[in-house]
Amino acid sequence: MSSSRSRLPLLLHGILLCSSFAPLPVISSRRQSLRSVRSAGPLVRSWDKREDMAGDGEYLLGIKRLRRLYCNVGIGFHIQVLPNGKVTGVHNENRYSLLELSPVERGVLTLFGVRSGLFIAMSDKGKLYGSGNFNDECKFKENLLANNYNAYESAAYPGMYIGLSKTGKTKRGNRVTPTMTMTHFLPRI
């Protein structure tokens, strides 16, 4: 018992010594909003660096994601881009179904076939094809749906969506709507 009493002052002295070097938290009676803290200047830092850099989600611009787009129609298909430029659906994952999703604007991205080296593009008739050059037909708006799937609408031709039939063939973009399950894609790692 006496040994624990002799350690107590030493412990308290150590706590006091260590806490004298640590900054004390500032307690304020008024609440500050996150925007007023951000506008206070460069001295106020956030723990999350993405939060400092982005006010409205701008940190997502430029981040490339490697994903496979899965459509749960028929037996379930992954969209793939073949080297000859054909875009189809395949049940089992393969090297041509790996896509690089690259944002180019807010909510707009490109779908690039990693193995084939071709962008997924949609013509003015709504036909999907693989393009070797980046152009406006390669841009798609990514719409998050209520069921946590995504629908990809052509940025060049609004109202046209990427879709797969129950046999894995691509559907024309002007023949499908985002309410159809054939346009619902799940980005998988």
CATH of the domain at 115: 2.80.10.50
Residue 63: predicted pLDDT = 84
pLDDT of res. 12: 61
Q: Domain check: are 38 and 71 in the same one? A: no
Average pLDDT of the residues in 34-50: 41
In a domain, 60, yes or no: no
Considering the domain architecture, whether residues 75 and 153 belong to the same structural domain is answered as yes
Same domain, 76 and 42: no
The one-letter code for the residue type at 39 is S
11 and 71 co-located in one domain = no
Residue type, 35: R
How many domains, the chain? 2
Residue 170, beta-bridge partner list: 164
Four-CA torsion 126, 130, 131, 137, nearest 10 degrees: 30
Please check whether residue 77 lies inside any domain of the structure: yes
**Residue at 8 is within a domain:** yes
Domain annotation covers residue 15: yes
Q: Let me know if residue 59 belongs to a domain.
A: no
Do 35 and 41 contact (CB within 8 A), yes or no? no
| pLDDT: which is higher, 44 or 71 | 71
Instruction: Please indicate, yes or no, whether residues 98 and 160 belong to a single structural domain of this protein.
Output: yes
* Co-location of 109 and 169 in the same domain: yes
The domain of 71 spans 66-188
Write out pLDDT tens, residues 63-114.
888 999 999 998 999 999 999 999 999 999 999 999 999 999 888 999 999 9
Please check the confidence at residue 5 and state whether its pLDDT lies above 80.
Answer: no
Per-range mean pLDDT, top range of 19-23, 62-66, 139-143? 139-143
Indicate if 123 and 175 belong to the same structural domain.
Answer: yes
Contacts of 96 (CB under 8 A, 6+ apart): 80, 81, 82, 83, 90, 113, 115, 116
Structure tokens at 153: 């609408």
